[in-house]
Amino acid sequence: METRVSTIIPLERVGVLIGKEGSIKGKIEQAFRTRLLIQSETGLVEVVPKEDSEDPTTILRARDVVVAIARGFSPERAFTLVDDDIVLDIIDLRETFGRNERDIARLKGRVIGREGKIRRLIEEMTKAKVSVYGHTISMIGEYETVTDAREAIELLLKGKQHSTVYKLLRKMKSESKKRETLELWQKPPT
């Protein structure tokens, strides 16, 4: 029996997933030793392992790349998920705040900020990549950076002031630098 996973992506993102002359689709298939079966009319994408694929988790990782592209990330950013240390996290605003489009638009605006300033600030301070698309806010990065970005975004969604979130981000960045410095000192010399 063939294992397969599927997901539905927005129709306007199907072209991005396929890429020019199938280039993005081909890159995903090659990187993860899978096949992507894309139904352009419905947005259904099935990820199927190739016969010679040995690692069963590759179809799940390939699906994460597909989902990242579907959630508004560029293919280049989505492809960082090839690395096992990189994760994708998605906040679905409809699950928490309901389906009121005006509320969702207001919340997305709080996370994006004027001219994208807050989103950019979150990315710079946490090193996680953030995409606000449709009814979701998605993050890609190492587990710790995504956790930090999620914490900052959730505070914004709860209505905390931007200045409060900025202070938290500065504190997170300082702690991250301390951890990096400590790790450098603890590494054995080569």
Q: Residue 53: what residue type? A: S
Q: Which two tokens stand for residue 21?
A: 């002359």
Mean pLDDT computed over 60-68: 95
Interval 129-159: pLDDT, tens? 999 999 999 999 999 999 999 999 999 999 9
Pick from 40-44, 99-103, 127-131: least confident: 99-103
Mean pLDDT computed over 85-108: 92
The CB-side HSE value for 36 (13 A sphere, CA atoms) comes to: 32
> What's the pLDDT at 51?
78
pTM: predicted TM-score of the whole model, two decimal places: 0.86
- To the nearest 10°, the Cα dihedral for 5, 142, 147, 74? -60
Interval 165-179: pLDDT, tens? 999 999 988 888 887
Looking at residue 188, what DSSP letter applies?
P
Q: Which long-range contacts (CB under 8 A, 24 or more apart) does 48-56 make?
A: 48/2, 48/3, 48/4, 49/2, 49/3, 49/4, 56/3
> What's the pLDDT at 1?
47
| Confidence grade of residue 162 (pLDDT, cut at 50, 70, 90) | confident
pLDDT at 100 over 90: no
Interval 2-24: pLDDT, tens? 688 999 999 999 999 999 999 99
SS3 170: helix
Pairing of strands 86-92, 5-8: unpaired
Domains, the chain: 5-82 (3.30.1370.10), 86-181 (3.30.1370.10)
Residue 161 to residue 101: CA distance in whole angstroms: 22
Mean pLDDT computed over 176-188: 75
> For residue 135, what are the CA distances in angstroms to 16, 66, 71, 158?
19, 17, 9, 16
Say if residues 149 and 157 touch (Cβ distance below 8 Å).
no
Q: Could you tell me what percent of the chain has a pLDDT over 90?
A: 75
